[in-house]
A and B are shown apart, each in its own frame.
Chain A
Amino acid sequence: MVKALREEVKRLFEEKKVDLVIGWGKGSIPMTATPIFIRKAEDAEHLIWDETCSNNLAVYLTKDKRQLVKTNQKIGIVVKGCDGRSLVLYAVENQIKRENLVIIGVPCSGVIDKKKVLKQTAGKEVISARFEENRMTVEGRGFKTEIEKSEVLSHSCRNCNHPNAPVYDIFIGEPVKTESVGDVYPEVEAFEKLDSEARWKDMVESYSKCIRCYACRNVCPSCYCTECFVDQNDPQWIGKSPEITDTLIFHLGRNLHVAGRCVECGACERACPADIDLLKLNRKISKEILERFNFTAGLDINEKPAMASFCENEKQDFIMG
């Protein structure tokens, strides 16, 4: 698989089809992959593709004030299902030119969340990790354990309905067969069943851990405003106090800004240093938008985003009768 990927990228450079390829390389610490920017055919040797490649590489096209896209170079990008959906979102929102991209799809069966592995080893440092089919072996000083891959799978990868990029130019290997995962939002539904008091308590408990580092925003592929509403001073939307209300309004505001645009790649959750279940809100919105408007973000390049379109006769049960 990795060999095929490297050869494909090498071929792209030799045929001069790309000026730059963004992919994953081996990270300097175990269980991490690092984004790499390849500009020469021989550097394709550094590419990898495995369970540790969790970064959503699409962000590099829009972050840093879209500098990379503005140069108009041909960019090759290696994508999982969710990253591919981000690219579709960018195309829909006119952030990229589709013809300037060479999308290289890879089959994804879920990436791991390093924080979850560290929980399994009780915080002990992992020196080496090896992956087999459904298991991983981690080794550290004085211990060696085997962990089921499903236990350390990133939260977003559970109930994933879109493991392959919806739009691609080249696909490495065979696309992962999409099995119907049934109920897509079981956690959301379970949470909805609690009473309002319990829900509020749970929210306060989990979100008071937030240290407002804004890592979730910085890593989010859908958050690419030149000036974010949290950074605005006039009007100041978000108070700077450590109170739960400011924190919650930040998270609610951010979630509403990515409503109908979130591809649920889970990058926010993996980046969160406070280990908050951030997808809880995103998934609620995705569920609501799917049920009401029958829309899922980042699947169809010709479909208008849910929050930028409307239908005259849609359901309005929430309006006072």
Chain B
Amino acid sequence: MIKGNLVQETKKKKDWQPKILAILCNWCSYAGADLAGVSRIQYPPNIRVLRVPCSGRVDPMFIMKSLQNGFDGVLVSGCHPGDCHYLSGNFNARRKFAVLKPLLEYVGIEAERVQFSWVSAGEGERFAEVVTKITNDVYKVGPAKRLVKGVVSW
């Protein structure tokens, strides 16, 4: 993992910065992000956090809508399987993502743009790694052009 380097590197390139929506579950990943913060772990500043009660709350429509509204990537993160605060929320979420991800790839959305991960409240380090990875990935594929809502061309 290149953590700090990427921050330096992306700062140099002033042209474009990926904008990534991080949908985090309240009980694990949001706390993991918080831990990364209070531990002063460096990670790219490209994410905007949306806190949800549980990864099971994430409707696939949220992800498609955020891509449409101009996010270059979407990260959904929840508790590890078996650790869900609501017992089975992340299992249900996993089924939804198992269908959504291949479907988006199938229609031609780059696989790097939509990613899922499990991050617990104690994994601040890992949260930084996950954010670094998705930022790198999205940076490589460039600004989102497909599915983005532009001006109507008649």
Identify the A interface with B (CB < 8 A): 191-192, 196-203, 229, 237, 239, 241-243, 245-246, 248-249, 252-253, 255-256, 259-260, 281, 284-285, 288-289, 292-293, 306-307, 309-310, 312, 314, 316, 318-320
Q: Please tell me if the beta carbons of B94 and A200 are within 8 angstroms of each other in the complex.
A: no
A307–B91 Cα distance when bound, in Å, is: 10
A284–B134 Cα distance when bound, in Å, is: 26
Q: Please tell me if the beta carbons of B95 and A306 are within 8 angstroms of each other in the complex.
A: yes
B residues contacting the other copy or chain, number (CB 8 A): 41
**8 Å CB contact of A237 from B61, B91, B117, B148:** B61
When distances are taken between beta carbons in the complex, the residues of chain B under 8 Å from A316 are 81, 94, 98
Least CB distance from A191 to B in Å reads 7
- Bits for B66-99, please: 1 = Cβ < 8 Å to A, else 0: 0010000000000001100000100110111111
**Smallest CB-CB A-B distances: 10 pairs:** A200-B108, A310-B91, A320-B117, A199-B108, A318-B101, A203-B107, A196-B108, A319-B116, A284-B106, A256-B60
Q: Please tell me if the beta carbons of A310 and B116 are within 8 angstroms of each other in the complex.
A: no
Q: Please tell me if the beta carbons of A243 and B116 are within 8 angstroms of each other in the complex.
A: no
With A196-B108, A200-B108, A249-B65 in contact, do A256 and B130 touch (Cβ < 8 Å)?
Answer: no
Q: Please tell me if the beta carbons of B99 and A289 are within 8 angstroms of each other in the complex.
A: yes
When distances are taken between beta carbons in the complex, the residues of chain A under 8 Å from B110 are 196
Instruction: Find the B residue at minimum CB distance from A242.
Output: B152
Q: Please tell me if the beta carbons of A312 and B82 are within 8 angstroms of each other in the complex.
A: yes
With A191-B106, A200-B107, A201-B108 in contact, do A310 and B152 touch (Cβ < 8 Å)?
Answer: no
Q: Please tell me if the beta carbons of A318 and B108 are within 8 angstroms of each other in the complex.
A: no
When distances are taken between beta carbons in the complex, the residues of chain B under 8 Å from A239 are 68, 149
Chain A contact residues: over half helix, strand or loop, or mixed?
helix
**8 Å CB contact of B106 from A192, A197, A307:** A192
Least CB distance from B36 to A in Å reads 16
When distances are taken between beta carbons in the complex, the residues of chain A under 8 Å from B108 are 196-203
Chain B contact residues: over half helix, strand or loop, or mixed?
helix
When distances are taken between beta carbons in the complex, the residues of chain B under 8 Å from A312 are 81-82, 91
A229–B60 Cα distance when bound, in Å, is: 13
Q: Please tell me if the beta carbons of B103 and A319 are within 8 angstroms of each other in the complex.
A: no
**8 Å CB contact of A256 from B82, B103, B148:** B103
Contacts A252-B103, A316-B94 known; list 11 others, CB within 8 Å: A196-B105, A200-B108, A237-B65, A249-B64, A249-B68, A252-B104, A310-B92, A312-B82, A314-B98, A318-B98, A319-B118
Q: Please tell me if the beta carbons of B149 and A284 are within 8 angstroms of each other in the complex.
A: no
A237–B63 Cα distance when bound, in Å, is: 12
Indicate whether B49 reaches chain A with its CB closer than 8 angstroms.
no
Q: Please tell me if the beta carbons of A284 and B102 are within 8 angstroms of each other in the complex.
A: yes
Q: Please tell me if the beta carbons of A318 and B133 are within 8 angstroms of each other in the complex.
A: no
Q: Please tell me if the beta carbons of B68 and A255 are within 8 angstroms of each other in the complex.
A: no
Least CB distance from A262 to B in Å reads 11
**8 Å CB contact of A285 from B61, B81, B103, B147:** B103
When distances are taken between beta carbons in the complex, the residues of chain B under 8 Å from A199 are 106-108
Q: Please tell me if the beta carbons of B100 and A256 are within 8 angstroms of each other in the complex.
A: yes
Instruction: Find the A residue at minimum CB distance from B114.
Output: A318
Least CB distance from A247 to B in Å reads 11
A229–B64 Cα distance when bound, in Å, is: 14
Q: Please tell me if the beta carbons of B130 and A284 are within 8 angstroms of each other in the complex.
A: no
When distances are taken between beta carbons in the complex, the residues of chain A under 8 Å from B68 are 239, 245-246, 249
When distances are taken between beta carbons in the complex, the residues of chain B under 8 Å from A197 are 108
Q: Please tell me if the beta carbons of B94 and A319 are within 8 angstroms of each other in the complex.
A: yes
A312–B133 Cα distance when bound, in Å, is: 26
- Bits for B134-154, please: 1 = Cβ < 8 Å to A, else 0: 100000000000111110100
Instruction: Find the A residue at minimum CB distance from B102.
Output: A288
**8 Å CB contact of A229 from B61, B118, B146:** B61
Instruction: Find the A residue at minimum CB distance from B106.
Output: A284
Least CB distance from B97 to A in Å reads 6
A320–B95 Cα distance when bound, in Å, is: 15
Q: Please tell me if the beta carbons of B103 and A310 are within 8 angstroms of each other in the complex.
A: no
A255–B68 Cα distance when bound, in Å, is: 17
A255–B116 Cα distance when bound, in Å, is: 21
When distances are taken between beta carbons in the complex, the residues of chain B under 8 Å from A198 are 108
Indicate whether B10 reaches chain A with its CB closer than 8 angstroms.
no
A252–B104 Cα distance when bound, in Å, is: 8
Instruction: Find the A residue at minimum CB distance from B146.
Output: A200
When distances are taken between beta carbons in the complex, the residues of chain B under 8 Å from A284 are 102-103, 106
A310–B88 Cα distance when bound, in Å, is: 9
